Amino acid sequence: MNGTGKTFYITTPIYYPSDKLHIGHSYCTVATDVMARYKRLQGFDVMFLTGTDEHGQKIELKAQDAGVTPKQYVDQVVAGIKDLWKLLNISNDRFIRTTDDYHEESVQKIFKALYDKGYIYKGSYKGKYCTPCESFWTESQLVDGKCPDCGREVIDAEEEAYFFKLSAFQDKLVKYYEEHPDFMEPQSRLNEMVNNFIKPGLEDLCVSRTSFTWGVPVTFDPKHVVYVWVDALSNYITALGYGNDKYHDFEKYWPADVHFVGKEIMRFHTIIWPAMLMALDLPLPKKVYGHGWLLLEGGKMSKSKGNVVDPVVLVQRYGVDAIRYFLLREFPFGSDGLFSNEALIARINADLANDLGNLVSRSVAMVKTFGFTLPTQRREVPEQDDELIQMVKGLQQRYEEQMERYAFQNALMEIFKVVSRTNKYIDETAPWTLAKNPEEHSRLATVLYNLLECVRVVGILLKPFMPSTAERIFEQIGASQELTTYESAGTWGLLPADVTVHKGEVLFPRIDLAKELAELEAAKASKEPKEPVKAEKKAAPQVEGVASMISIDEFAKVELRVAQVKACEHVKRAKKLLCLQLDDGTEAGRQVVSGIHPWYEPEDLVGKKVVVVANLNPAKLCGVESNGMILAADAGENDVKVLFVDESVPCGSKVR
């Protein structure tokens, strides 16, 4: 089984066939693609699986509305999903549809095997059902009587049904989590699963339905169809040939190295799926990574709210690599993040047009203009260049450390630190001045050579993120295939001295922010409903007195700044704490830990502007570093309100 050879099996969730997958859906697929490409670059035999989850009542109803059969409906929508993945340059090795015959056959065998082993039994189901999520809920799991996942109405459901003995796996799961502390990531998800689902007690799960027919029939009782999540989760093994003859690589790739999933479907992947596998005596996936959501200012993107961002439009306007880069650079993978057109354009301009684009075009242009043969004695390294060269030499290792943790944002930051340093090197060495003095021509050649080498290494490590940009870079600096392998990124000085550069098109043209935003807004305004007006905030109680007076000079010592919450997540083992990533107008931003979880969830904060005490000594709260604090008011007995700032105030503005 997987683990003996250099194989790597990675999956995305299989998507519901929706006619409009939005940028949030693309996020997970792009991240999976980056990981798959990275592992291939390292020489792994990779299996990257994605697909579509096509059964269930919701699809049956949609097809009815459209006046077509469910199969006709899904066929047409799935074609669109495949096109989107092509557009985003997704390199999946396999695409599974849950309506594929081989998959259905395997699901039937899995269901029967669980029944034969006594893990599935017949009973009667009474409870609540959320049709859009295809989820059964007990009364106690509902939030305000609604679906705890999507907040929509649930319906009463009662029918004869088969049940999976999930309760029998409670202790085994807890033991498994304890023995495999890396099974779930980020670690905060483990707390969520244990506290919200395991501790209250696992109940047996209803795994068949009789009220509709669009599903996989139970072989030994065909009026029942298999519950969509049992059907869907099985895809990760049926696509390798488990229970069918279509494929034959189950032994080779299973257990999966990692399932990438959105945080709301963690419980299916870390409770139900492992229990099913345990019942089948199969090994569990090595890791389930629950990434965060892309949010818009109005909350999570969803078609029903009408606030989705269309990836096709973005790719058409900015190019696929810019979108791939932005998605993984802007947000820490495990946390929620706020999507905005402004952030996207700012990121493209700053990182891709200015930093990377400029570096490549300046380097190539100078080699062309100054027309020098690059130095033949490449090995002698003037001290002045040493810092840059050492930084580039260590880049691959720093990058790898981050990639292995799925910290895509950090990996990209490491690359771009080198890009910035190299741009600075151009300014320091001023090749155009060296060019004027014939005695400096050998030095000039060395400088230009160093630039091309930096670009080469950067290009290699960018390959998984921006595959076509990397190729364009190699073409411009004249690097042949063997100098763009992963191994070659670890060695300095491989580019031959007589390399021929080619001036190509600008990699990323600068975007006029104001003009572009106006165009995007205009396009959006014509399509979308207005944002609902937010409820008025409760007025703060009267201030009765103050502790003691201070002078204006004393007050001036406190540096207060406006900052925007870019991402936010729970702090492990600390119920009250939230960890916020703030844009405080500085390049690096800052991380602040705040004890406001009793009153706020991450999604209440992401996108909001707050006031941060910027010159507070750093502190560690429950092991997490906090650089400052955000201001909040005691708004009544046991009530706290964060002080939000009008969104027009720029990040970094001083508050006084």
Residues making contact with ligand MSP (CB under 6 A) = 13-16, 24-25, 27-28, 53, 232-233, 235, 261-262, 264-265, 293-294, 300-301
Minimum distance of ligand MSP from residue 82's CB (angstroms): 14
Shortest Å, Cβ 279 to ligand MSP: 17
Query: Kind of pairing, strands 225-226 and 135-137?
Result: unpaired
Residue 370: CB atoms within 10 A of its CB come to: 16
Q: Which is nearer to ligand MSP, 82 or 300 (CB)?
A: 300
Nearer to ligand MSP, 98 or 469 (CB): 98
Closest to 647 in 3D by CA, of 541, 565, 571, 569: 565
H/E element holding 112? helix 101-116
Q: Coil, strand or helix: which one is 125?
A: strand
Residue 525: CB minimum distance to ligand MSP, A: 21
Containing 467, the helix (H) or strand (E) segment is: helix 467-477
Residue pair 302/200 in contact (Cβ under 8 Å)? The answer is: no
Residues facing residue 620 across a β-bridge: 625
> From the CB of 265, what's the least distance to ligand MSP, in Å?
5
Q: How far apart are the first and last CA of the chain?
A: 63
Nearer to ligand MSP, 299 or 509 (CB): 299
**Smallest gap from residue 355 Cβ to ligand MSP (A):** 27
Alpha helices per DSSP H over 405-464: 408-429, 431-436, 441-462
Shortest CB 270 distance to ligand MSP, Å: 12
Nearest distance from C-beta of residue 152 to ligand MSP, angstroms: 13
> What is the Cα–Cα distance from 396 to 487, expressed in whole angstroms?
9
Closest by Cα among 226, 212, 223 to 112: 226
Strand-pair partners of 129 = 136, 155
User: Closer CB to ligand MSP, residue 264 or residue 440?
Assistant: 264
Bridge partners, 48 (sequence order):
10
- In the complex, what is the shortest distance from the CB of residue 59 to ligand MSP, in angstroms, rounded to a whole number? 11
Measured from the CB atom, the residue of 257 and 453 that comes closer to ligand MSP is 257
What does the alpha-carbon distance between residue 292 and residue 264 come to, in Å, rounded to a whole number? 9
Q: In angstroms, give the least distance from the CB of 264 to ligand MSP.
A: 6
Closest distance to ligand MSP from the beta carbon of 262 (Å):
2
Pick 291 or 456: Cβ nearer ligand MSP: 291
Q: Which two tokens stand for residue 389?
A: 């060269």
Nearer to ligand MSP, 7 or 11 (CB): 11
Residue 293 or 408 having the CB closest to ligand MSP: 293
Phi, psi values for residue 599, rounded to 5°: -115, -20
CA–CA gap between residue 450 and residue 283 (Å, rounded):
49
* Cα 288 from Cα 32, distance rounded (Å): 12
Which is closer to ligand MSP, CB of 134 or CB of 516? 134
For residues 530 and 532, what is the distance between their CA atoms, to the nearest angstrom?
A: 6
| The pair of three-digit structure tokens given for residue 523, joined into one six-digit string | 């396009």
CA distance 341 to 324: 14
The CB-of-596 to ligand MSP minimum distance in angstroms stands at 23
Residue 156, classed as helix, strand or coil, is strand
- Nearer to ligand MSP by Cβ, of 226 and 574: the residue is 226
Output 262 or 478, the one with its CB closest to ligand MSP: 262
Nearer to ligand MSP, 232 or 483 (CB): 232
Instruction: Phi first, then psi: give them for residue 556, nearest 5 degrees.
Output: -65, -15
User: Left if phi > 0, otherwise alpha if psi is -120 to 50, otherwise beta: which for 137?
Assistant: beta
Residue among 232 and 419 whose Cβ is closer to ligand MSP: 232
| Residue owning tokens 């929508």 | 77
Question: Shortest distance, CB of residue 69 to ligand MSP, whole angstroms?
Answer: 20
In contact, 235 and 270? CB cutoff 8 Å:
no
Residue type, 51: G
Rounded-to-integer distance, Cα 378 and Cα 446, Å: 7
Token readout for 444 is 């000039």
d(CA 371, CA 384): 23
Residue nearest to ligand MSP according to CB distances in the complex: 262
* 611, β-bridge pairs: 562
DSSP string, 325-379: HHHHHHS-TTSEEE--HHHHHHHIIIIIIIIIIHHHHHHHHHHHHH-PPPPS-TT
Q: How far apart are CA 432 and CA 430, in angstroms?
A: 5
Q: Closest separation between CB of residue 406 and ligand MSP, Å?
A: 15
- Name the residue nearer to ligand MSP (CB basis): 255 or 459: 255
For residue 267, the minimal CB distance to ligand MSP (Å) is 11
Pick the closest to residue 27 from 318, 260, 347 (CA basis).
Answer: 260
Residue with smaller CB distance to ligand MSP, 332 or 628? 332
User: What is the closest distance, in whole angstroms, from the C-beta atom of residue 109 to ligand MSP in the complex?
Assistant: 18
Q: At closest approach, how far in Å is the CB of 261 from ligand MSP?
A: 5
By beta-carbon proximity to ligand MSP, the closer residue of 20 and 576 is 20
Separation in Å, CA 373 to CA 20, 28, 382, 427, 430: 53, 45, 18, 21, 18
